Amino acid sequence: MSTTTRRRSITKTHERISQLGWEPDYFQPAIKYPSRYKFPVKAKDPMKHIMREYLPMELEKDERVYGGHDAAVRAEMTSKTGRRWMEIIKPYIVTTAYAEVAAGRCMSMLIDAIPNNELRNGYHIQFVDEIRHTGMQMALARWYAKHVPDPSGWHLGPATLARDPGTQQALNMLSHFIVGDPVQCAFTLQVVAETAFTNIAFVALPDVGARNGDFTLPTTYLSVQSDEARHISNGYATLLTVLQEDENAPLIERDLAQAWWINHAYLDGFGSAIMEYSSDDRSDHESYLDKWERWIENDWYRSYVLKLGKLGLNFPAEMFERAHDRLRRGLVHKNMLGSAAFWMLHFWRTAPLEERDFEWLESKYPGWYEEYGPSWEAFRATRDDPQQFKHLLEMALEGAAPSCWVCLMGCVFPEEMCHRAVDGRTRFYCSKECMWLDESNPGRYVGDRNFFDRYHDWELSDVVRDIGFVRPDGKTLIAQPHIDGDRMWTLDDIRGMDFHVKSANITTAEKLGLPNGSSVGLESPNGHIDGGLREAAPWGNGATGNGGAQRAEVQH
Protein backbone atom coordinates (compact mmCIF):
# COMPACT_ATOMS: atom_id res chain seq x y z
CA MET A 1 0.00 0.00 0.00
CA SER A 2 1.33 3.35 -0.92
CA THR A 3 1.99 5.70 1.97
CA THR A 4 1.88 8.83 -0.16
CA THR A 5 -1.26 10.40 -1.52
CA ARG A 6 -1.08 12.63 -4.53
CA ARG A 7 -1.99 16.10 -3.36
CA ARG A 8 -4.18 18.35 -5.41
CA SER A 9 -2.73 21.76 -6.25
CA ILE A 10 -3.75 24.66 -4.04
CA THR A 11 -5.55 26.41 -6.87
CA LYS A 12 -7.56 23.30 -7.69
CA THR A 13 -8.37 22.67 -4.04
CA HIS A 14 -9.41 26.26 -3.64
CA GLU A 15 -11.70 25.98 -6.66
CA ARG A 16 -13.20 22.84 -5.21
CA ILE A 17 -13.80 24.54 -1.83
CA SER A 18 -15.78 27.33 -3.42
CA GLN A 19 -18.07 24.73 -4.99
CA LEU A 20 -18.91 23.27 -1.60
CA GLY A 21 -21.31 26.03 -0.57
CA TRP A 22 -25.04 25.54 -0.90
CA GLU A 23 -28.16 27.47 -0.16
CA PRO A 24 -30.72 25.72 2.02
CA ASP A 25 -34.09 25.56 0.28
CA TYR A 26 -36.01 24.01 3.17
CA PHE A 27 -36.40 27.31 5.05
CA GLN A 28 -36.08 31.05 4.44
CA PRO A 29 -33.18 32.31 6.56
CA ALA A 30 -33.74 35.55 8.47
CA ILE A 31 -31.82 38.55 7.18
CA LYS A 32 -29.43 39.29 9.98
CA TYR A 33 -27.16 41.86 8.40
CA PRO A 34 -28.82 43.47 5.39
CA SER A 35 -26.69 45.71 3.21
CA ARG A 36 -27.41 48.73 0.99
CA TYR A 37 -24.84 47.44 -1.49
CA LYS A 38 -25.53 45.58 -4.69
CA PHE A 39 -23.35 42.49 -5.10
CA PRO A 40 -22.03 41.36 -8.47
CA VAL A 41 -21.92 37.73 -9.57
CA LYS A 42 -18.14 37.38 -9.66
CA ALA A 43 -15.60 38.00 -6.95
CA LYS A 44 -12.06 36.84 -6.24
CA ASP A 45 -10.28 35.93 -3.05
CA PRO A 46 -6.70 36.82 -3.99
CA MET A 47 -5.07 34.88 -1.13
CA LYS A 48 -6.69 31.54 -1.99
CA HIS A 49 -6.04 30.09 1.44
CA ILE A 50 -6.91 26.55 2.33
CA MET A 51 -6.81 25.00 5.79
CA ARG A 52 -4.21 22.41 4.76
CA GLU A 53 -1.69 25.22 4.29
CA TYR A 54 -3.00 27.55 6.92
CA LEU A 55 -3.11 25.38 10.04
CA PRO A 56 0.52 24.16 10.18
CA MET A 57 1.72 27.73 9.54
CA GLU A 58 -0.36 29.16 12.36
CA LEU A 59 0.57 26.32 14.69
CA GLU A 60 4.24 27.13 14.19
CA LYS A 61 3.59 30.80 14.95
CA ASP A 62 1.59 29.92 18.08
CA GLU A 63 4.41 27.71 19.37
CA ARG A 64 6.81 30.63 19.08
CA VAL A 65 4.49 33.08 20.83
CA TYR A 66 3.63 30.86 23.78
CA GLY A 67 7.23 29.65 23.97
CA GLY A 68 8.20 33.33 24.17
CA HIS A 69 5.88 33.80 27.14
CA ASP A 70 7.63 30.94 28.97
CA ALA A 71 11.06 32.29 28.12
CA ALA A 72 10.10 35.69 29.52
CA VAL A 73 9.22 34.13 32.89
CA ARG A 74 12.63 32.48 33.07
CA ALA A 75 14.37 35.69 32.06
CA GLU A 76 12.46 37.56 34.81
CA MET A 77 11.55 40.07 32.19
CA THR A 78 9.15 42.19 34.21
CA SER A 79 11.84 43.07 36.74
CA LYS A 80 13.67 44.81 33.89
CA THR A 81 10.73 46.36 32.06
CA GLY A 82 9.80 50.06 32.26
CA ARG A 83 7.17 50.70 34.93
CA ARG A 84 5.23 53.23 32.87
CA TRP A 85 5.03 50.76 30.05
CA MET A 86 3.68 48.05 32.34
CA GLU A 87 0.85 50.40 33.32
CA ILE A 88 -0.16 51.58 29.85
CA ILE A 89 -0.36 48.04 28.49
CA LYS A 90 -3.37 47.52 30.78
CA PRO A 91 -5.66 49.61 28.56
CA TYR A 92 -3.62 48.82 25.44
CA ILE A 93 -4.10 45.04 25.57
CA VAL A 94 -7.69 45.15 26.82
CA THR A 95 -8.54 47.50 23.94
CA THR A 96 -6.86 45.52 21.17
CA ALA A 97 -8.28 42.23 22.50
CA TYR A 98 -11.74 43.75 22.10
CA ALA A 99 -10.77 44.92 18.61
CA GLU A 100 -9.94 41.30 17.75
CA VAL A 101 -13.30 40.07 19.05
CA ALA A 102 -15.07 42.77 17.04
CA ALA A 103 -13.02 41.87 13.94
CA GLY A 104 -14.10 38.25 14.30
CA ARG A 105 -17.73 39.31 14.62
CA CYS A 106 -17.35 41.49 11.54
CA MET A 107 -16.30 38.35 9.61
CA SER A 108 -19.51 36.63 10.73
CA MET A 109 -21.46 39.60 9.37
CA LEU A 110 -19.61 39.50 6.05
CA ILE A 111 -20.06 35.75 5.67
CA ASP A 112 -23.77 36.26 6.26
CA ALA A 113 -24.17 39.32 4.06
CA ILE A 114 -21.90 38.84 1.04
CA PRO A 115 -23.26 36.24 -1.33
CA ASN A 116 -20.02 34.91 -2.71
CA ASN A 117 -18.43 31.69 -1.52
CA GLU A 118 -14.93 32.56 -2.66
CA LEU A 119 -14.91 35.72 -0.53
CA ARG A 120 -16.53 33.80 2.32
CA ASN A 121 -13.58 31.42 2.35
CA GLY A 122 -11.25 34.42 2.87
CA TYR A 123 -13.48 35.81 5.62
CA HIS A 124 -13.57 32.40 7.28
CA ILE A 125 -9.77 32.22 7.43
CA GLN A 126 -9.69 35.74 8.85
CA PHE A 127 -12.30 34.72 11.41
CA VAL A 128 -9.98 31.96 12.63
CA ASP A 129 -7.11 34.48 12.70
CA GLU A 130 -9.13 36.88 14.83
CA ILE A 131 -9.99 34.11 17.30
CA ARG A 132 -6.28 33.30 17.43
CA HIS A 133 -5.46 36.98 18.10
CA THR A 134 -8.09 37.21 20.83
CA GLY A 135 -6.71 34.09 22.51
CA MET A 136 -3.11 35.27 22.32
CA GLN A 137 -3.88 38.72 23.69
CA MET A 138 -6.04 37.39 26.52
CA ALA A 139 -3.21 34.96 27.36
CA LEU A 140 -0.80 37.90 27.30
CA ALA A 141 -3.05 39.88 29.67
CA ARG A 142 -3.08 36.88 32.01
CA TRP A 143 0.68 36.61 31.71
CA TYR A 144 1.15 40.22 32.88
CA ALA A 145 -1.48 39.81 35.61
CA LYS A 146 0.70 37.01 37.02
CA HIS A 147 4.10 38.61 36.59
CA VAL A 148 4.03 42.42 36.85
CA PRO A 149 4.87 44.16 40.14
CA ASP A 150 1.47 45.90 40.33
CA PRO A 151 -1.21 43.81 38.62
CA SER A 152 -4.10 45.88 39.98
CA GLY A 153 -6.49 46.71 37.13
CA TRP A 154 -5.72 43.55 35.21
CA HIS A 155 -8.05 41.57 37.48
CA LEU A 156 -11.10 43.50 36.25
CA GLY A 157 -10.54 42.30 32.71
CA PRO A 158 -12.62 43.53 29.79
CA ALA A 159 -15.30 44.84 32.19
CA THR A 160 -13.16 47.98 32.52
CA LEU A 161 -13.68 48.96 28.89
CA ALA A 162 -17.12 50.48 29.34
CA ARG A 163 -16.37 51.99 32.76
CA ASP A 164 -13.24 54.05 32.13
CA PRO A 165 -13.96 57.25 30.17
CA GLY A 166 -10.75 56.63 28.17
CA THR A 167 -11.45 53.07 27.10
CA GLN A 168 -15.12 53.88 26.56
CA GLN A 169 -13.87 55.93 23.61
CA ALA A 170 -12.14 52.79 22.32
CA LEU A 171 -15.27 50.70 22.73
CA ASN A 172 -17.15 53.34 20.75
CA MET A 173 -14.64 53.36 17.89
CA LEU A 174 -14.40 49.55 17.74
CA SER A 175 -18.17 49.21 17.63
CA HIS A 176 -17.87 50.59 14.08
CA PHE A 177 -16.52 47.16 13.09
CA ILE A 178 -19.86 45.56 13.95
CA VAL A 179 -22.64 48.17 13.85
CA GLY A 180 -24.26 49.31 10.61
CA ASP A 181 -24.04 48.08 7.05
CA PRO A 182 -21.65 45.09 6.94
CA VAL A 183 -19.75 46.59 4.00
CA GLN A 184 -19.29 49.85 5.88
CA CYS A 185 -18.00 47.76 8.81
CA ALA A 186 -15.59 45.98 6.44
CA PHE A 187 -14.23 49.32 5.24
CA THR A 188 -13.77 50.53 8.82
CA LEU A 189 -12.03 47.33 9.87
CA GLN A 190 -10.20 45.99 6.83
CA VAL A 191 -9.62 48.91 4.51
CA VAL A 192 -8.78 51.53 7.15
CA ALA A 193 -7.97 49.98 10.55
CA GLU A 194 -6.08 46.93 9.27
CA THR A 195 -4.52 48.45 6.18
CA ALA A 196 -3.53 51.79 7.71
CA PHE A 197 -3.47 51.59 11.49
CA THR A 198 -2.23 48.09 12.38
CA ASN A 199 1.25 49.24 11.39
CA ILE A 200 0.99 51.70 14.27
CA ALA A 201 -0.83 49.46 16.75
CA PHE A 202 1.00 46.18 16.10
CA VAL A 203 4.43 47.29 14.91
CA ALA A 204 5.25 50.80 16.14
CA LEU A 205 3.75 50.36 19.62
CA PRO A 206 5.43 46.98 20.28
CA ASP A 207 8.64 48.72 19.24
CA VAL A 208 8.10 51.10 22.18
CA GLY A 209 7.67 48.00 24.35
CA ALA A 210 10.97 46.58 23.14
CA ARG A 211 12.68 49.90 23.89
CA ASN A 212 11.32 49.60 27.43
CA GLY A 213 12.66 46.08 27.94
CA ASP A 214 9.47 44.18 27.10
CA PHE A 215 9.89 41.35 24.57
CA THR A 216 6.73 39.40 25.45
CA LEU A 217 4.32 41.92 23.97
CA PRO A 218 6.31 42.42 20.72
CA THR A 219 6.59 38.64 20.30
CA THR A 220 2.82 38.37 20.55
CA TYR A 221 1.78 41.44 18.55
CA LEU A 222 4.21 40.91 15.69
CA SER A 223 2.74 37.46 15.32
CA VAL A 224 -0.69 39.13 15.10
CA GLN A 225 0.61 41.52 12.48
CA SER A 226 1.93 38.66 10.35
CA ASP A 227 -1.73 37.70 9.74
CA GLU A 228 -2.77 41.20 8.75
CA ALA A 229 -1.59 40.92 5.14
CA ARG A 230 -4.42 38.43 4.70
CA HIS A 231 -6.95 40.85 6.20
CA ILE A 232 -5.70 43.77 4.13
CA SER A 233 -6.11 41.55 1.08
CA ASN A 234 -9.66 40.64 2.15
CA GLY A 235 -10.47 44.33 2.45
CA TYR A 236 -9.17 45.01 -1.04
CA ALA A 237 -11.17 42.06 -2.41
CA THR A 238 -14.34 43.36 -0.71
CA LEU A 239 -13.72 46.84 -2.10
CA LEU A 240 -13.09 45.62 -5.67
CA THR A 241 -16.13 43.36 -5.51
CA VAL A 242 -18.61 46.11 -4.64
CA LEU A 243 -16.86 48.49 -7.01
CA GLN A 244 -17.93 46.35 -9.97
CA GLU A 245 -21.44 47.76 -9.64
CA ASP A 246 -21.56 51.42 -10.65
CA GLU A 247 -24.46 52.22 -8.40
CA ASN A 248 -22.32 51.30 -5.35
CA ALA A 249 -19.78 54.05 -6.07
CA PRO A 250 -21.43 56.84 -4.04
CA LEU A 251 -21.94 54.46 -1.11
CA ILE A 252 -18.31 53.37 -1.23
CA GLU A 253 -17.06 56.94 -1.28
CA ARG A 254 -19.25 57.89 1.64
CA ASP A 255 -18.52 54.81 3.75
CA LEU A 256 -14.79 54.91 3.12
CA ALA A 257 -14.58 58.58 4.08
CA GLN A 258 -16.50 57.94 7.28
CA ALA A 259 -14.42 54.84 8.06
CA TRP A 260 -11.31 56.99 7.73
CA TRP A 261 -12.61 59.70 10.00
CA ILE A 262 -13.71 57.53 12.91
CA ASN A 263 -10.43 55.59 12.82
CA HIS A 264 -8.43 58.82 12.86
CA ALA A 265 -10.57 60.46 15.55
CA TYR A 266 -9.83 57.74 18.07
CA LEU A 267 -6.80 55.69 17.00
CA ASP A 268 -4.46 58.65 16.62
CA GLY A 269 -5.02 59.47 20.27
CA PHE A 270 -4.51 55.84 21.24
CA GLY A 271 -1.25 55.53 19.29
CA SER A 272 0.27 58.80 20.41
CA ALA A 273 -0.73 58.41 24.09
CA ILE A 274 0.99 55.04 24.30
CA MET A 275 3.99 55.96 22.20
CA GLU A 276 4.74 59.47 23.43
CA TYR A 277 3.36 59.64 26.96
CA SER A 278 4.14 56.16 28.34
CA SER A 279 7.75 55.42 27.48
CA ASP A 280 10.70 55.65 29.85
CA ASP A 281 12.94 55.33 26.84
CA ARG A 282 13.52 58.45 24.77
CA SER A 283 15.85 57.04 22.15
CA ASP A 284 13.27 57.05 19.35
CA HIS A 285 14.20 59.66 16.76
CA GLU A 286 10.71 59.57 15.29
CA SER A 287 7.61 61.16 16.78
CA TYR A 288 4.12 59.73 16.39
CA LEU A 289 3.54 62.31 13.67
CA ASP A 290 6.68 61.14 11.79
CA LYS A 291 5.44 57.55 11.88
CA TRP A 292 1.98 58.67 10.86
CA GLU A 293 3.40 60.46 7.82
CA ARG A 294 5.37 57.36 6.88
CA TRP A 295 2.71 54.71 7.37
CA ILE A 296 -0.65 56.45 7.17
CA GLU A 297 0.15 59.20 4.70
CA ASN A 298 2.72 57.60 2.40
CA ASP A 299 1.97 53.88 2.63
CA TRP A 300 -1.80 54.02 2.93
CA TYR A 301 -3.10 57.31 1.60
CA ARG A 302 -0.67 58.00 -1.26
CA SER A 303 0.10 54.42 -2.30
CA TYR A 304 -3.36 52.93 -1.87
CA VAL A 305 -6.27 55.33 -1.42
CA LEU A 306 -5.20 57.89 -4.04
CA LYS A 307 -4.64 55.09 -6.55
CA LEU A 308 -8.29 54.10 -6.19
CA GLY A 309 -8.91 57.28 -8.19
CA LYS A 310 -7.89 55.33 -11.29
CA LEU A 311 -10.81 53.01 -10.60
CA GLY A 312 -13.12 56.00 -10.44
CA LEU A 313 -13.25 56.33 -6.67
CA ASN A 314 -12.78 59.74 -5.16
CA PHE A 315 -11.63 59.96 -1.60
CA PRO A 316 -12.16 63.47 -0.18
CA ALA A 317 -8.60 64.84 0.05
CA GLU A 318 -9.81 67.51 2.44
CA MET A 319 -10.79 64.89 5.01
CA PHE A 320 -7.34 63.39 4.93
CA GLU A 321 -5.63 66.76 5.20
CA ARG A 322 -7.94 67.87 8.00
CA ALA A 323 -6.94 64.85 10.08
CA HIS A 324 -3.25 65.55 9.41
CA ASP A 325 -3.73 69.18 10.36
CA ARG A 326 -5.57 68.32 13.59
CA LEU A 327 -2.63 66.17 14.64
CA ARG A 328 -0.17 68.96 13.86
CA ARG A 329 -2.23 71.40 15.90
CA GLY A 330 -2.05 69.18 19.01
CA LEU A 331 -5.23 67.10 18.92
CA VAL A 332 -3.68 64.42 21.10
CA HIS A 333 -1.66 66.71 23.39
CA LYS A 334 -4.81 68.66 24.19
CA ASN A 335 -6.84 65.52 24.90
CA MET A 336 -4.07 64.14 27.11
CA LEU A 337 -4.42 67.04 29.58
CA GLY A 338 -7.95 66.01 30.50
CA SER A 339 -7.02 62.33 30.69
CA ALA A 340 -4.16 63.09 33.09
CA ALA A 341 -6.18 65.48 35.30
CA PHE A 342 -8.80 62.76 35.82
CA TRP A 343 -6.21 60.00 36.34
CA MET A 344 -8.31 58.53 39.20
CA LEU A 345 -10.95 57.37 36.71
CA HIS A 346 -8.52 54.99 35.00
CA PHE A 347 -7.63 51.39 35.85
CA TRP A 348 -3.91 52.03 35.47
CA ARG A 349 -1.39 54.37 37.04
CA THR A 350 -0.44 57.63 35.35
CA ALA A 351 3.20 58.67 35.62
CA PRO A 352 3.93 62.39 35.61
CA LEU A 353 6.16 63.65 32.80
CA GLU A 354 9.70 64.60 33.71
CA GLU A 355 12.57 66.68 32.27
CA ARG A 356 13.67 64.13 29.68
CA ASP A 357 10.07 63.72 28.54
CA PHE A 358 9.69 67.50 28.20
CA GLU A 359 12.91 67.68 26.19
CA TRP A 360 11.87 64.87 23.87
CA LEU A 361 8.36 66.27 23.29
CA GLU A 362 9.71 69.78 22.72
CA SER A 363 12.27 68.49 20.21
CA LYS A 364 9.57 66.65 18.25
CA TYR A 365 6.84 69.28 18.56
CA PRO A 366 8.48 72.73 18.89
CA GLY A 367 6.32 74.91 21.15
CA TRP A 368 5.00 71.90 23.08
CA TYR A 369 6.50 72.96 26.40
CA GLU A 370 5.10 76.46 26.34
CA GLU A 371 1.61 75.19 25.72
CA TYR A 372 1.40 71.99 27.74
CA GLY A 373 4.50 72.00 29.98
CA PRO A 374 3.05 74.10 32.85
CA SER A 375 0.05 71.76 33.27
CA TRP A 376 2.32 68.70 33.41
CA GLU A 377 4.66 70.51 35.84
CA ALA A 378 1.68 71.25 38.08
CA PHE A 379 0.57 67.62 37.88
CA ARG A 380 4.01 66.46 38.99
CA ALA A 381 4.22 69.03 41.81
CA THR A 382 0.81 68.28 43.34
CA ARG A 383 0.62 64.51 42.97
CA ASP A 384 1.16 63.91 46.70
CA ASP A 385 -1.12 66.63 48.02
CA PRO A 386 -4.86 66.27 47.46
CA GLN A 387 -5.61 69.86 48.51
CA GLN A 388 -3.16 71.29 45.98
CA PHE A 389 -4.18 68.81 43.36
CA LYS A 390 -7.75 70.05 43.77
CA HIS A 391 -6.75 73.41 42.23
CA LEU A 392 -5.45 71.59 39.19
CA LEU A 393 -8.72 69.71 38.87
CA GLU A 394 -10.67 72.94 39.15
CA MET A 395 -8.58 74.48 36.39
CA ALA A 396 -9.04 71.37 34.27
CA LEU A 397 -12.78 71.57 34.78
CA GLU A 398 -12.85 75.24 33.86
CA GLY A 399 -11.03 74.60 30.61
CA ALA A 400 -12.79 71.30 29.89
CA ALA A 401 -14.21 70.82 26.42
CA PRO A 402 -17.49 69.00 25.83
CA SER A 403 -17.04 65.47 24.56
CA CYS A 404 -17.89 64.81 20.94
CA TRP A 405 -21.18 63.02 20.39
CA VAL A 406 -19.65 60.76 17.73
CA CYS A 407 -16.00 60.04 18.58
CA LEU A 408 -16.32 60.77 22.35
CA MET A 409 -13.00 62.63 22.31
CA GLY A 410 -12.83 66.21 23.61
CA CYS A 411 -13.99 69.05 21.34
CA VAL A 412 -10.53 70.55 21.86
CA PHE A 413 -10.56 73.06 18.98
CA PRO A 414 -13.20 75.61 20.08
CA GLU A 415 -13.34 77.23 16.63
CA GLU A 416 -14.23 73.87 15.08
CA MET A 417 -16.71 72.67 17.65
CA CYS A 418 -20.23 72.50 16.28
CA HIS A 419 -23.54 71.36 17.66
CA ARG A 420 -27.14 70.61 16.84
CA ALA A 421 -30.22 69.91 18.90
CA VAL A 422 -31.98 66.57 18.58
CA ASP A 423 -35.14 65.79 20.55
CA GLY A 424 -34.57 68.84 22.72
CA ARG A 425 -31.00 67.89 23.65
CA THR A 426 -27.78 69.47 22.42
CA ARG A 427 -25.17 67.27 20.78
CA PHE A 428 -21.66 68.73 20.51
CA TYR A 429 -19.18 67.61 17.86
CA CYS A 430 -15.39 67.98 17.72
CA SER A 431 -15.54 68.63 13.98
CA LYS A 432 -17.89 69.06 11.05
CA GLU A 433 -16.88 65.54 10.00
CA CYS A 434 -18.17 63.98 13.24
CA MET A 435 -21.39 65.95 12.84
CA TRP A 436 -21.71 64.57 9.31
CA LEU A 437 -21.32 61.01 10.62
CA ASP A 438 -24.16 61.56 13.09
CA GLU A 439 -26.46 63.31 10.61
CA SER A 440 -25.95 60.75 7.87
CA ASN A 441 -26.27 57.66 10.09
CA PRO A 442 -29.48 58.37 12.00
CA GLY A 443 -30.01 55.84 14.75
CA ARG A 444 -26.31 54.98 14.90
CA TYR A 445 -25.17 57.24 17.76
CA VAL A 446 -27.73 56.89 20.53
CA GLY A 447 -28.12 56.38 24.25
CA ASP A 448 -26.36 58.01 27.20
CA ARG A 449 -23.08 58.53 25.41
CA ASN A 450 -21.22 60.94 27.66
CA PHE A 451 -19.43 59.59 30.71
CA PHE A 452 -19.53 62.88 32.64
CA ASP A 453 -23.24 63.50 31.99
CA ARG A 454 -23.96 60.43 34.08
CA TYR A 455 -21.93 61.81 36.99
CA HIS A 456 -22.83 65.50 36.74
CA ASP A 457 -22.62 67.05 40.24
CA TRP A 458 -21.36 63.81 41.81
CA GLU A 459 -18.64 64.00 44.45
CA LEU A 460 -15.52 62.52 42.82
CA SER A 461 -14.86 59.63 45.27
CA ASP A 462 -18.43 58.44 44.66
CA VAL A 463 -17.65 58.30 40.94
CA VAL A 464 -14.54 56.19 41.58
CA ARG A 465 -16.55 53.91 43.85
CA ASP A 466 -19.29 53.62 41.24
CA ILE A 467 -16.92 52.56 38.46
CA GLY A 468 -15.28 50.19 40.93
CA PHE A 469 -11.62 51.11 40.41
CA VAL A 470 -10.63 50.37 44.02
CA ARG A 471 -8.09 47.80 45.28
CA PRO A 472 -9.12 44.77 47.40
CA ASP A 473 -8.60 46.67 50.70
CA GLY A 474 -11.71 48.64 49.75
CA LYS A 475 -10.04 52.05 50.03
CA THR A 476 -6.83 52.33 47.95
CA LEU A 477 -7.38 53.45 44.37
CA ILE A 478 -6.28 51.27 41.46
CA ALA A 479 -5.15 54.41 39.65
CA GLN A 480 -2.37 56.53 41.12
CA PRO A 481 -0.83 59.78 39.86
CA HIS A 482 2.63 58.18 40.01
CA ILE A 483 4.29 54.81 39.63
CA ASP A 484 6.32 54.83 42.87
CA GLY A 485 4.75 52.64 45.51
CA ASP A 486 5.29 54.88 48.55
CA ARG A 487 2.24 57.09 48.85
CA MET A 488 -0.94 55.52 47.59
CA TRP A 489 -4.06 57.63 47.19
CA THR A 490 -7.24 56.35 48.84
CA LEU A 491 -10.93 57.12 48.50
CA ASP A 492 -10.53 59.34 51.60
CA ASP A 493 -7.93 61.47 49.81
CA ILE A 494 -10.36 62.01 46.98
CA ARG A 495 -13.27 62.70 49.30
CA GLY A 496 -11.07 65.17 51.21
CA MET A 497 -10.88 67.33 48.07
CA ASP A 498 -14.68 67.69 48.11
CA PHE A 499 -14.57 67.98 44.36
CA HIS A 500 -17.79 67.74 42.39
CA VAL A 501 -17.67 66.54 38.81
CA LYS A 502 -19.34 68.65 36.14
CA SER A 503 -20.14 67.62 32.62
CA ALA A 504 -18.70 70.13 30.17
CA ASN A 505 -21.50 69.16 27.78
CA ILE A 506 -24.10 70.31 30.27
CA THR A 507 -22.29 73.45 31.41
CA THR A 508 -21.32 74.53 27.88
CA ALA A 509 -24.90 74.15 26.65
CA GLU A 510 -26.04 76.29 29.61
CA LYS A 511 -23.39 78.94 28.89
CA LEU A 512 -24.35 79.15 25.23
CA GLY A 513 -28.08 79.20 25.99
CA LEU A 514 -28.61 75.93 24.12
CA PRO A 515 -31.04 73.13 24.99
CA ASN A 516 -29.97 70.61 27.65
CA GLY A 517 -26.54 69.16 26.78
CA SER A 518 -26.97 65.96 28.80
CA SER A 519 -27.36 62.55 27.20
CA VAL A 520 -28.95 60.95 30.26
CA GLY A 521 -32.45 60.89 31.70
CA LEU A 522 -34.31 60.38 28.47
CA GLU A 523 -37.73 58.80 28.67
CA SER A 524 -36.85 55.97 26.31
CA PRO A 525 -33.38 54.52 25.72
CA ASN A 526 -33.67 55.46 22.08
CA GLY A 527 -35.11 58.85 22.81
CA HIS A 528 -32.34 60.54 20.88
CA ILE A 529 -33.22 58.91 17.61
CA ASP A 530 -34.58 61.12 14.89
CA GLY A 531 -38.10 59.93 14.21
CA GLY A 532 -37.64 56.44 15.63
CA LEU A 533 -35.23 53.63 14.98
CA ARG A 534 -37.24 51.88 12.29
CA GLU A 535 -37.61 54.89 10.04
CA ALA A 536 -34.08 56.03 10.70
CA ALA A 537 -32.29 52.76 10.00
CA PRO A 538 -34.55 50.43 8.06
CA TRP A 539 -31.70 47.98 7.57
CA GLY A 540 -30.98 47.80 11.32
CA ASN A 541 -32.16 45.42 14.00
CA GLY A 542 -35.08 47.71 14.74
CA ALA A 543 -36.65 46.70 11.45
CA THR A 544 -39.40 44.14 11.49
CA GLY A 545 -41.68 42.83 8.79
CA ASN A 546 -40.79 44.05 5.39
CA GLY A 547 -38.76 47.06 6.46
CA GLY A 548 -35.34 45.59 5.72
CA ALA A 549 -33.38 45.07 2.57
CA GLN A 550 -34.08 42.07 0.40
CA ARG A 551 -32.07 38.92 0.69
CA ALA A 552 -29.30 38.74 -1.87
CA GLU A 553 -29.09 35.71 -4.11
CA VAL A 554 -26.05 33.52 -3.59
CA GLN A 555 -23.75 33.07 -6.55
CA HIS A 556 -21.83 29.84 -6.85
With a CB cutoff of 8 Å and minimum separation 6, the contacts of 114 are 35, 39, 43, 120, 123, 182, 183, 238, 241, 552
3-state secondary structure of 469: coil
* Partner whose binding site includes residue 230, from Fe ion, Zn ion, none (CB under 5 to 8 Å by kind): none
**C-beta of 239 vs 434, nearer to Zn ion:** 434
**C-beta of 278 vs 431, nearer to Zn ion:** 431
* Partner whose binding site includes residue 164, from Zn ion, Fe ion, none (CB under 5 to 8 Å by kind): none
**Site for Zn ion, residues 246 to 285, rule: CB under 5 A:** 265
**Site for Zn ion, residues 348 to 407, rule: CB under 5 A:** 404, 406-407
* Partner whose binding site includes residue 434, from Zn ion, Fe ion, none (CB under 5 to 8 Å by kind): Zn ion
The DSSP 8-state label assigned to residue 4 in this structure reads: -
**C-beta of 92 vs 261, nearer to Zn ion:** 261
Contact 89, 77 (CB under 8 A): no
Nearest approach in angstroms of CB 379 to Fe ion is: 35
Nearest approach in angstroms of CB 216 to Fe ion is: 18
Distances from the Cα of 191 to the Cα of 129, 188, 196, 228, 287, angstroms: 17, 6, 7, 11, 24
**C-beta of 133 vs 419, nearer to Fe ion:** 133
Using CA atoms of 287, 292, 293, 298 in order, give the dihedral in degrees to the nearest 10.
150
With a CB cutoff of 8 Å and minimum separation 6, the contacts of 228 are 194, 198, 202
Q: Tell me the residue length of the chain.
A: 556
Burial class of residue 533, CB neighbours in 10 A (0-12, 13-18, 19+): middle
Distance CA 167, CA 520 (A): 19
Distance CA 87, CA 347 (A): 9
Of the candidates 397, 434, 509, 537, which one interacts with Zn ion according to CB under 5 A?
Answer: 434
**C-beta of 106 vs 437, nearer to Fe ion:** 106
Q: Is the sign of the CA dihedral 470, 472, 476, 478 positive or negative? A: negative
**Site for Zn ion, residues 406 to 425, rule: CB under 5 A:** 406-407
**C-beta of 209 vs 402, nearer to Zn ion:** 402
Nearest approach in angstroms of CB 375 to Zn ion is: 22
* The three-state (H, E, C) secondary structure of 52-102, written as one string: HHHHHHHHHHHHHHHHHHHHHHHCCHHHCCCHHHHHHHHHHHHHHHHHHHH
**C-beta of 239 vs 430, nearer to Zn ion:** 430
* Partner whose binding site includes residue 133, from Fe ion, Zn ion, none (CB under 5 to 8 Å by kind): Fe ion
Contact 266, 169 (CB under 8 A): yes
Distance CA 44, CA 48 (A): 9
Contact 226, 263 (CB under 8 A): no
* Partner whose binding site includes residue 136, from Zn ion, Fe ion, none (CB under 5 to 8 Å by kind): none
Q: Please name which of 105, 41, 106 lies closest in space to residue 552, comparing C-alpha atoms.
A: 41
The DSSP 8-state label assigned to residue 316 in this structure reads: -
**C-beta of 130 vs 284, nearer to Fe ion:** 130
With a CB cutoff of 8 Å and minimum separation 6, the contacts of 528 are 422, 423, 425, 427, 445, 446, 447, 519, 522
Nearest approach in angstroms of CB 224 to Fe ion is: 6
Nearest approach in angstroms of CB 404 to Zn ion is: 3
Residues lying near Fe ion in the complex (CB under 5 A): 100, 103, 130, 133, 194, 231
**Site for Zn ion, residues 292 to 321, rule: CB under 5 A:** none
* Partner whose binding site includes residue 231, from Fe ion, Zn ion, none (CB under 5 to 8 Å by kind): Fe ion
**C-beta of 65 vs 323, nearer to Zn ion:** 323
* Partner whose binding site includes residue 100, from Fe ion, Zn ion, none (CB under 5 to 8 Å by kind): Fe ion
**C-beta of 94 vs 323, nearer to Zn ion:** 323
Of the candidates 430, 446, 477, 494, which one interacts with Zn ion according to CB under 5 A?
Answer: 430
Nearest approach in angstroms of CB 93 to Fe ion is: 13
> How many of the chain's residues bind Zn ion (CB under 5 A)?
6
User: What are the residues binding Zn ion (CB under 5 A)?
Assistant: 265, 404, 406-407, 430, 434
